[in-house]
Structure formats: C-alpha cells, structure tokens
C-alpha cells in the first residue's frame, strides 16, 4: 500500500472574495458633458446641479379664484370690487387695496396687497363689477405658493451621484439645464471563441453549433447600460486570437466567452497573459461558471485606467451567471453608481426541491412578489448548456453545496435577472 496522500487542492476563491477583487480595479469613467436626450436616462451625475432661480419665481396662485386681503373678510363673507384680471404669464399691474379683489388664474403672480386666494367656486360675480364671497374666514397664504418654496436660487437641487430619472429631467429643465456632466456608458468589447462556432445566420455543419453567447452578451451589456461592440468569433488558434484580443483591449471592458477551461485548446488565459493582461483570478467556487477568469490590462505608457478583462466560460448559462455576479456590478460602477450590487432578494421556496451539487449553485428560478412576500420556484434545468431553461426564469436562486432536500418555506438568497 502506498502511503502517498494526494495533495489537497488549495481552497477555491469564493464568489464574494472574487467580487471584492474585481471592485479594487474599477473606478467610474471620467465624466463627459451629456445633452439631456432620452439617451441620458439612467446616467449618474458627476457634478452638483445648482438652481439659477427661485421656484416659484414669485408668490403664485395655486387655484383659480380671487386674490383678496384676509382683513376684508373676517367672517368669510363680503362683497369686493374687482379691479383686475390676472392670467398666468402676466404681471399684475394693480395693488389690491381695502375692499378690492383681483380675479386670478392658477399659476399667475399674486398682486401686491393680496394675501390669500378665494376659490372661484365660493364666489359669485355680480353685474356691477363686484364679487360676492361666501366662504370660511380666509387664512393668510391660503392657496398661495410662496416665492422660493420649492427651491431658492443657488440651492443644490441635484447632488453628484444622482441617477437621472424622468423627475430629474423635469427638475433640470426647471433650472435651465439642457446639458449635464455625467459618467458615460462604458464601451464593452465582446469576443466569442471556439472552433465549433458559426454565426446565427449560418446552418451548423458536422460538429458545429451557433454562437449564442455573442447575442446574449450584446443584450446583457446593453441592458446593463454598456455600449456593446461585438468583435466576432475567434478560432482556437493563437494567430486568430492574438489580433482580436489586441483589438478588444482598446475598450475599457473586454468580455470573452469560451476557451478558459483546462482543455488543450483553451487558449484564452495564456493568450491574454501574452498580450499583457495581469491575471487576478482564474476559477471561482460556483456553479455554473467555475473557470471564470479576471485580469486587468495596464495601458501601455501608463496613461488611463487599465482595461478590465473577463474570460467567461463557454456555456451560455455560465456566461449569464458570471455576467450577473461580476460584470454587471463593474458596468454600474463605471457608470458612477455608488452601490454596484449585486443585490440579493431573500425569497421563500414554494415547493420541496431535492438538489445535490458540489458547489454553491445559481439555479435558474422564477421569482415572484406576492402579498405574503417574495416567492421563488426553481425551473427545470439540465445544466450550464441549457439556456432554454432561462426563458422560463427571471432569477437565479442560490443553493448550497451538498445533498439536500430543500423544503417549501425555507428562505434562499435569489438574484433577480430583471
Ligand atoms: P469552452 O469554455 O470553450 O470549453 O466551452 C464550453 C462549452 O460551451 C462547449 O460545449 C462549447 O461548445 C460551448 N460554447 C462555447 N462558446 C459558445 C458560444 N459562443 N455559444 C454557444 N455555446 C458556446
Ligand atoms: Mg472552446
């Protein structure tokens, strides 16, 4: 009998530790002036936005009615002489004196002298140019929005880090901004590798399959706010990979799929190193996606941020899982989000689920919000090549390693894909 004990493999990197490594290398992209077209939606401000005016710019009528002096209507009832009509967009010309009122429209400036607006519904215009009022006693300021109540000239109305949503677009318009300083969309180069791949418009011949990862990654990148640049298919051949990798390294982010496992033709890690990429990890304790590679490419001459390079395993569900766990947070951080995620949702399993796995597993699942909280149901799935299962899924549920009979009612961390 041999007393040779097989050397224990060093423990594999955990997902959270791998994410922490990636985070160290990511800074928000340098901000750029950005016109406020719909393309700016979802971008993150890189400078405070300050108001150039008071809002409202004058004491403003909030209702249609009559601008009055409260002192004239101690009981709420009275008859006042109408001296002027003030539509929105006009400046009052007359001061409201004792016994007088001005007809006023919503949005118009309150005339000097008046301190309340009586609703039109509580009044009746008589033929002699007077208005009869029958209301509760008015309070000073009633139906008036004071000048500067919403914002004052010089206020920071949108601080650095604000995400531009429709309401922020409206505020920017209010303060006269048609351009902002924001972090741009990261350009992301996408390279599929594999001798077996043909493009989707081709019919695969013997031993071939269509390149699904190209389309998948273009869509994942677009949805995550990146600008995809699809480079095509590289053959498992250094002469083909070399120039395509070189091209891809011009972008701030390069995503490759395939060629990162232990096979003889898995050339991606060695070709990346040859191109000058510094490897930070290769293999993470997860399923699918274990062979994932991450490295950075320092810019020749030292100028600018290094390119971030991910070698994603070729199976499409591995691509998707690695994208959600590692790449999406990178794109969010490059776009200036303070909190790049990913964010897990604790959800209750809807049915018993027996599952055996040797690594923490991100299993395709259906996640749903119910009146009783989040519910998750794993969908049938035959493994990392089975992208079709993802069409029935909107989430990945995280199952621990081991041979388990998970019970309905147990809580699991879940990653939404939407
Ligand atoms: P690899 O990581 O290159 O060993 O590939 C793992 C598995 O993923 C193999 O079965 C490949 O055929 C498959 N695969 C690799 N690249 C793609 C791709 N772009 N689209 C679909 N399947 C792929
Ligand atoms: Mg391959």
d(CA 223, CA 42): 11
Q: Where are the alpha helices (DSSP H) in 309-400?
A: 316-322, 328-334
Can you give the pLDDT at residue 8?
Answer: 67
Q: How far is the CA of 253 from the centre of ligand 2 (A)?
A: 21
The tens digit of pLDDT for each residue in 290-301 reads 999 999 999 988
What pTM value is reported for the model? 0.93
For residue 413, give every residue at least 6 positions away whose Cβ sits within 8 Å of its Cβ, in sequence order, or none.
344, 345, 346, 397, 398
Given the CA of residue 318, which atom of ligand 1 is nearest to it? 8
Q: Are 407 and 352 in contact (CB under 8 A)?
A: yes
* Mean pLDDT value of segment 268-290: 98
Nearest to 191, CA basis, from 280, 253, 239: 253
Banded pLDDT at 1 (limits 50, 70, 90): very low
Q: Pick the residue whose CA is nearest to atom 14 on ligand 1.
A: 314
What pLDDT does 3 receive? 57
SS3 240: helix
Mean local confidence (pLDDT), 93-104: 98
Determine the average pLDDT of the residues in 49-60: 98
The stretch 312-328 carries a mean pLDDT of 98
> In sequence order, what are the beta bridge partners of 227?
187
- Write out 17-58 in H/E/C secondary structure: HHHHHHHHCCCCCCCEEEECCHHHCCCEECCCEECCCCECCC
Q: In order of start, what are the domains of the chain with their CATH numbers?
A: 15-25+184-334 (3.40.980.10), 36-55+158-182 (no CATH), 60-145 (2.170.190.11), 344-416 (2.40.340.10)
Q: Which residues line ligand 1 (CB under 6 A)?
A: 192, 194, 196-197, 209, 211-213, 257-261, 263, 266, 313-316
The whole-number pLDDT of residue 4 equals 61
How far from chain centre, in Å, is Cα 209? 34
CB atoms within 10 A of CB 376: 26
């Amino acid at each position: 009998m041999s007393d040779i004990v097989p050397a224990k493999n060093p423990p594999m990197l955990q997902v959270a530790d791998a994410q922490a490594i990636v985070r160290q290398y990511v800074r928000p992209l340098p901000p750029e002036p950005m016109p406020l077209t719909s393309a700016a939606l979802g971008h993150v401000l890189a400078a405070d936005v300050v108001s150039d005016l008071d809002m409202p710019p004058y004491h403003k009528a909030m209702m249609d009615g009559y601008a009055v002096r409260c002192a004239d209507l101690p009981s709420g009832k009275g008859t006042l002489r109408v001296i002027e009509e003030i539509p929105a967009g006009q400046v009052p010309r007359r001061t409201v004196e004792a016994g007088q009122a001005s007809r006023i429209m919503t949005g118009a400036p309150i005339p000097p002298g008046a301190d309340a607006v009586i609703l039109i519904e509580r009044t009746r215009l008589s033929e002699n140019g007077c208005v009869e009022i029958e209301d509760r006693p008015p309070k000073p300021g009633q139906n008036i929005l004071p000048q500067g109540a919403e914002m004052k000239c010089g206020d920071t109305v949108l601080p650095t880090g604000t995400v531009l949503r429709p309401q922020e677009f409206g505020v920017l318009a209010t303060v006269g901004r048609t351009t902002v300083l924001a972090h741009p969309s990261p350009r992301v180069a996408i390279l599929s590798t594999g001798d077996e791949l043909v493009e989707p418009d081709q019919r695969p011949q013997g031993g071939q399959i269509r390149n699904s990862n190209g389309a998948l990654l273009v869509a994942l990148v677009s949805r995550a706010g990146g600008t995809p640049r699809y480079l095509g298919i590289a053959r498992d051949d250094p002469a083909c990979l070399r120039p395509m990798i070189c091209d891809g390294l011009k972008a701030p982010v390069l995503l490759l799929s395939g060629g990162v496992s232990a096979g003889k033709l898995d050339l991606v890690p060695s070709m990346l190193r040859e191109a000058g990429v510094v490897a930070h990890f290769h293999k993470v304790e997860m399923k699918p996606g274990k062979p994932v590679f991450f490295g950075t490419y320092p810019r020749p001459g030292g100028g600018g941020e290094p390119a971030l390079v991910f070698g994603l395993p070729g199976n499409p569900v591995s691509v998707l899982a690695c994208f959600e766990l590692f790449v999406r947070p990178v794109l969010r951080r490059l776009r200036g989000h303070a909190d790049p995620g990913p964010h897990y949702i604790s959800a209750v399993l809807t049915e018993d689920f027996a599952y055996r796995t040797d690594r923490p597993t991100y299993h395709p699942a259906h996640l749903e919000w119910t009146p009783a909280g989040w519910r998750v149901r794993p969908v049938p799935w035959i493994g990392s090549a089975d992208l079709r299962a993802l069409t029935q899924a909107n989430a990945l549920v995280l199952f621990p390693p081991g041979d388990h009979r998970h019970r309905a009612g147990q809580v699991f961390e879940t990653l939404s894909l939407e």
